[in-house]
Amino acid sequence: MTTASPLRRSLLVACAAALGGLAPPTVAQVRIPLRVSSPAVPDDWHAKMWTVFKESLEKSAPSQFDVQINLNASLFKQGAEPVAMARGNLELASISAFDIAKLVPAFSIFTAGYVVRDPQHQQKVFNGPIGTELFKAVSDKMGVTVLSTVYLGTRQLNLRDVRPVRTPADLKGVKLRMPGTREWLFLGDALGATATPLAFGEVYLGLKTGTIDGQDNPLPTARAAKFYEVTKQLVLTQHLVDSLFITISNKSWNALTPAQKQNVTAAAQAAAKFNNENRIKEEGQLVDFFRQQGLQVSTPDVEAFRTSVQATYARSDYAKVWPAGLLERINATR
């Protein structure tokens, strides 16, 4: 009887093992890449919400997606996300009403100060018929699908030096940093200040060195970006209840199965919910925090700001392209 050589024997053993029930090698599942770009700092809620998105999606659609989160504008600069999505270089972003207004002029109504009243009003407007109509125009004109509405917060002013601020006239000559688009600069000027364009990532240094006199952002962002270290006053103007919209490029969206679309939408809604709840809670606590940091907190004559800012928008070219009745419908949404 011939005996097998050791090499032959191990080959035979391997073949027997393969035939005898070991799982055949599978082709590794290819995950769908979902690149996210945001200018947010990691400690802000609308940065952390992307981790909620990623985890929620992994749970509902295990191993199907590869969510890549890029913060601090490390992938695309602030405001460049819509173009990147349209060109197929980016799948997901949280874009602002200001980004949208460039291509969907009616949307500039949400860049106007003192239109949206509070976070609940915001959710009702965008989750109702007005949202449905406008998001259709966003999809048609921008090639992106809105998945959920994020409350970025209520914007307030931070000033480098303490000054009495009661009405817009008191901001005359104040170099107020705004993001660098026409719609943002209009808002800064409407507040009575001299709007000065600067990217978000440069604001801290601008305040520190004095190239700007102030900035506007919601309190959680001013906390996360540490603007309290380089400003002395907080002015609670409440001038804009600001939104971000989690959007996916239509190219990526259309390639998904119905089940995947459902999972991606649910993940975007979970992310927005996480952000909105935490942000609203934190906004209620931060005035004390800023006081503890040594900032003087002042409440101006908000009615004077509201009247002046609303009048400035009403006579502007922006208002001319707002669809008839839209402002009234927004106001009537409860």
Instruction: Candidates 20-28, 39-47, 116-124, 299-307: pick the segment binding ligand KDO (CB under 6 A).
Output: 39-47
Contact region for ligand KDO (CB under 6 A) — 38-46, 52-60, 113-121, 300-308? Answer: 38-46
Backbone angles phi, psi at 238, to 5 degrees: 55, 40
Residues 222-281 that bind ligand KDO (CB under 6 A): none
Rounded-to-integer distance, Cα 229 and Cα 198, Å: 19
- Crossing angle of helices 129-142 and 119-126, rounded to 10°: 70
Show the binding pattern over residues 205-224: x = contacts ligand KDO (CB under 6 A), - = does not. ------------x---x---
Q: CA Rg, the chain, in Å?
A: 25
Judged by CB under 6 A, does residue 181 bind ligand KDO? no
Which helix H or strand E contains 60, and what residues bound it?
Answer: helix 45-60
Instruction: Measure the CA–CA gap between 231 and 214, rounded to whole angstroms.
Output: 8
Does the protein bind ligand KDO through residue 200 (CB under 6 A)?
Answer: yes
Q: Give the Cα-Cα-Cα angle 185, 71, 222 (nearest 5 degrees).
A: 50
Among 35, 36, 37, 44, binds ligand KDO (CB under 6 A): 44
The span from the CA of 180 to the CA of 99, in Å, is 11
Distance CA 101, CA 181 (A): 10
Residue 23: CB minimum distance to ligand KDO, A = 46
Report the residue number, 40 or 101, with the smaller CB distance to ligand KDO. 40
- Spatial distance between the Cα atoms of 125 and 131, rounded to a whole number of angstroms: 6
Q: Verify binding: residue 96, ligand KDO, rule CB under 6 A.
A: yes
**Of 33 and 42, which has the nearer Cβ to ligand KDO?**
42
Among 34, 37, 39, 330, binds ligand KDO (CB under 6 A): 39
d(CA 113, CA 100): 16
CB closer to ligand KDO, 185 vs 304 = 185
Closest distance of CB 124 from ligand KDO, Å: 21
The one among 37, 56, 64, 78 contacting ligand KDO by CB under 6 A: 78
- Does the footprint of ligand KDO cover residue 158 (CB under 6 A)? no
Among 34, 36, 40, 150, binds ligand KDO (CB under 6 A): 40
At its nearest, how many Å lie between ligand KDO and the CB of residue 126?
A: 15
User: CB 281 → ligand KDO: shortest distance, Å?
Assistant: 18
Distance (Å, whole) CA 60 – CA 110: 33
- d(C-alpha 84, C-alpha 100), whole Å: 14
Buried b / exposed e across 294-304, counting CB within 10 Å, b at 16+? ebeebebeeee
Nearest approach, Cβ of residue 91 and ligand KDO (Å):
17
Q: Which residues make up the interface to ligand KDO (CB under 6 A)? A: 38-40, 44, 46, 78, 96, 179, 200, 217, 221
